Homo-oligomer: A and B are copies of this chain.
Amino acid sequence: MADHGLRERKKRATRQLISNVASGLFIERGFEEVTVAEIAEAAGVSKMTVFNYFPRKEDLFLDRHADRLAELVSVVRTRSAGVSPVAALRAHQHSLVASGHPLSGAIAGGPGFWWVLTSSPALMARWFEQEREIAEAFAEVFVAETGDAFRSRVVAGLLTTAITSVFSHAMGRIVAGDDADVVRREQVAFIDQAFDLVEHGVGGFPGGSG
């Protein structure tokens, strides 16, 4: 019943072990070049057990998704009265950058992650799927608040686009070799640019007032 009996601790440890071993192998040699059987063996566990903890091979690498999703939803759902989702998420992105959080994208350790991710179509597909899940989660919150399903889904999609754009922009620069501190400093402006586009519209882009 307790949530930290020997059983639970072992499970957590096993899960962590598998994830660590897998990430290590992926970053060393690439996603497609490592088989699940190999991961299982390296972790001293059976193939079935790997799939027990991580239903798809991709989840071995993208296992922070649940946390990220929960955090983003929480930012929107628990925002103060009078604060719009755009404002809340904008502030959240700023704080990620300020605190040097990995999900800001502007983090020195990123290249390995990014390389593994982008060099595997399967992994990219899963990544996009996760972005989609974020959008759906936002939409749910908005529908609950407003009852307007269509508008909720559109706005949710737009917000998600802003978030993913700023993340991948920072990551792209890091991978291109830019200094992490520089990127982090300049990222502030890009965040505002993206959220401004969502908040105030793209207008006649490209062109004049846009």
Q: With both chains docked as a complex, state the minimum distance between the C-beta of A65 and any C-beta of chain B, in angstroms.
A: 14
Interface pair A193/B154, CB less than 8 Å apart: yes
Q: How far is the CA of A192 from the CA of B148 in the complex (A)?
A: 15
Q: Residue on B with the closest CB to A205?
A: B155
Copies of chain A in the complex: 2
Q: Which B residues lie within 8 Å of A210 (CB)?
A: 84
How many residues does chain A have at the interface if contact means C-beta atoms less than 8 Å apart? 43
| Contact B151 A84, beta carbon cutoff 8 Å | no
On whether the beta carbons of B203 and A84 are closer than 8 Å, the reply is yes
Residues of B within 8 A of A198 (CB): 158, 201-202
Q: Point out the residues of chain B lying under 8 angstroms from A199, CB to CB.
A: 201-203
List residues of chain B with CB within 8 A of the CB of A202.
Answer: 86, 155, 158-159, 198-199
Q: Which of B150, B193, B203 contacts A169 (CB 8 A)?
A: B150
Tell me if A132 is interfacial: C-beta within 8 Å of chain B: yes
**25 chain-A/chain-B pairs, Cβ below 8 angstroms:** A84-B205, A84-B206, A84-B207, A86-B204, A87-B204, A125-B125, A125-B129, A128-B129, A142-B205, A142-B206, A148-B206, A150-B165, A150-B169, A150-B190, A150-B193, A150-B194, A151-B193, A153-B165, A154-B161, A155-B205, A158-B161, A158-B198, A161-B161, A197-B201, A201-B201
